[in-house]
């Protein structure tokens, strides 16, 4: 039997996924069932766009529930390794782009909780892959889809 994929994540990330799962199961699922019931009352289902839309949403919600269940069941909580001098999962890394010196900070998390808009990048991203295992003052070459980028790590927390 194939081994299940492990999803590294922070305690906070797992909690957020559990909250989303609970909301989908207790609120969203019921809302969609109600929309389907109302759409059925309109009669002919063959040309009922409300019914089709509600069924599509139901499929999305059920798919997301399955995905979240799997992620939570196979979550591996990122433990603080105690060494704040080395970039690792769960750490926030501040670096400057070379040569212009634009400073950026990201927290490196598992793909299940990555959200670039919140400053959380996946450990599978090109930037994170290049930074993992590095230390403050290290100069790093990052291969991105847009080409090479050069950065220097200024802080790890």
92-156, what's its fold?
Answer: Chitinase A; domain 3 (3.10.50)
**Residue 31, pLDDT above cutoff 90:** yes
Confidence of residue 1 (pLDDT cuts 50, 70, 90): low
Range 46-81 burial, b when 16+ CB lie within 10 A, else e:
eeeeebeebbeebeebeeebeebeebbeebeebeee
Query: Using CA atoms in the order 146, 151, 156, 157, what is the torsion angle rounded to 10 degrees?
Result: -40
Is there a contact between 63 and 107 (Cβ–Cβ < 8 Å)? Answer: no
**50-109 tens-digit pLDDT:** 898 999 999 999 999 999 999 999 999 987 666 678 999 999 999 999 988 889 999 999
Give the CATH class of 7-77: mainly alpha
Q: From residue 112, how far is each of 6, 30, 41, 142 by CA, in Å?
A: 10, 25, 39, 22
| Structure confidence by residue, pLDDT tens digits, 83-93 | 678 999 999 99
128-137 pLDDT, tens digit per residue, is 999 999 999 9
Cα-based distances in Å from 140 to 10, 25, 132, 154 = 25, 44, 10, 12
Domain boundaries along the sequence of the chain:
7-77, 92-156
Tell me the C-alpha distance between 32 and 50, whole Å. Answer: 11
- What is the value of pTM for the model shown? 0.76
Say if CB 107 and CB 92 are below 8 A apart.
yes
Residue range 126-154: average pLDDT? 93
- Mean pLDDT, the chain, as a whole number? 91
């Amino acid at each position: 039997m194939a081994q299940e994929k492990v999803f590294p994540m922070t305690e906070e990330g797992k909690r957020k996924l559990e909250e989303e799962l609970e909301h989908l199961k207790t609120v969203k699922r019921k809302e969609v069932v109600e929309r389907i019931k109302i759409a059925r009352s309109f009669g002919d289902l063959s040309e009922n766009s409300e019914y089709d839309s509600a069924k599509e949403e139901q499929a999305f919600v059920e798919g997301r529930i399955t995905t979240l269940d799997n992620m939570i069941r196979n979550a591996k909580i990122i433990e603080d390794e105690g060494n704040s001098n080395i970039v690792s999962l769960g750490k926030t890394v501040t670096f400057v782009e070379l040569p212009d010196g634009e400073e950026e900070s990201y927290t490196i998390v598992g793909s299940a909780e990555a959200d670039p808009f919140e400053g959380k990048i996946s450990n599978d991203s090109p930037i994170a892959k290049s930074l993992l295992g590095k230390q403050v003052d290290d100069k790093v070459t990052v291969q991105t889809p847009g080409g090479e980028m050069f950065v220097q790590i200024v802080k790890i927390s």
